C-alpha cells in the first residue's frame, strides 16, 4: 500500500479533529473517564483493529490513551491509517 504524501495527509487531517501527523504516524491522545474508561476504549479499539487486521501503537496512562496509526510494512501513513483513525473516532 503506498505511503501518502504530506499534502494528502494534511488534507485528510482536516476531517479528523485532534489528529496530527508525527514521526510517520497519525497520532491523537484521547482523555477518557478514569482508568476503566481508558481500558474500555482500548478494548473496543482492539476489536476494531483485529477485525481490520491493522493494529495501532497504544500508550495507556490512567485516563489517557495515545493512539498511533502507521502502516509499518509501508514505512508511513497510508489510506488504511486514515480509515482506522476515522473509525477510532467512533469508539469514544
Structure confidence by residue, pLDDT tens digits, 47-63: 999 999 999 999 999 99
Determine, yes or no, domain membership for 1: no
**What is the percent of the chain where pLDDT is above 90?**
98
Query: Please, which contacts does 47-55 make with residues 24 or more away whose CB atoms are closer than 8 Å?
Result: 48/84, 48/87, 48/88, 48/91, 49/84, 52/80, 52/83, 52/84, 52/87, 54/80, 54/81, 54/84
Determine, yes or no, domain membership for 38: yes
What per-residue confidence (pLDDT) applies to 92?
82
Decide if pLDDT at 42 tops 90: yes
What per-residue confidence (pLDDT) applies to 57?
98
Range of the domain at 65: 6-89
Angle, helices 34-52 vs 79-89, to 10°: value is 140
CATH of the domain at 60: 3.30.1360.20
Determine, yes or no, domain membership for 54: yes
Q: How many structural domains are present in the chain?
A: 1
Determine, yes or no, domain membership for 52: yes
Determine, yes or no, domain membership for 34: yes
Determine, yes or no, domain membership for 53: yes
Amino acid at each position: 500500500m503506498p505511503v501518502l504524501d504530506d499534502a494528502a495527509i494534511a488534507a485528510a487531517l482536516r476531517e479528523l479533529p485532534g489528529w496530527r501527523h508525527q514521526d510517520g504516524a497519525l497520532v491523537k491522545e484521547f482523555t477518557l473517564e478514569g482508568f476503566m474508561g481508558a481500558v474500555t476504549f482500548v478494548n473496543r479499539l482492539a476489536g476494531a483493529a483485529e477485525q481490520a487486521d491493522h493494529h495501532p501503537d497504544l500508550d495507556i496512562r490512567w485516563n489517557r490513551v495515545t493512539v498511533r496509526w502507521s502502516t509499518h510494512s509501508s514505512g508511513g501513513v497510508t489510506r488504511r491509517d486514515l480509515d482506522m483513525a476515522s473509525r477510532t473516532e467512533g469508539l469514544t
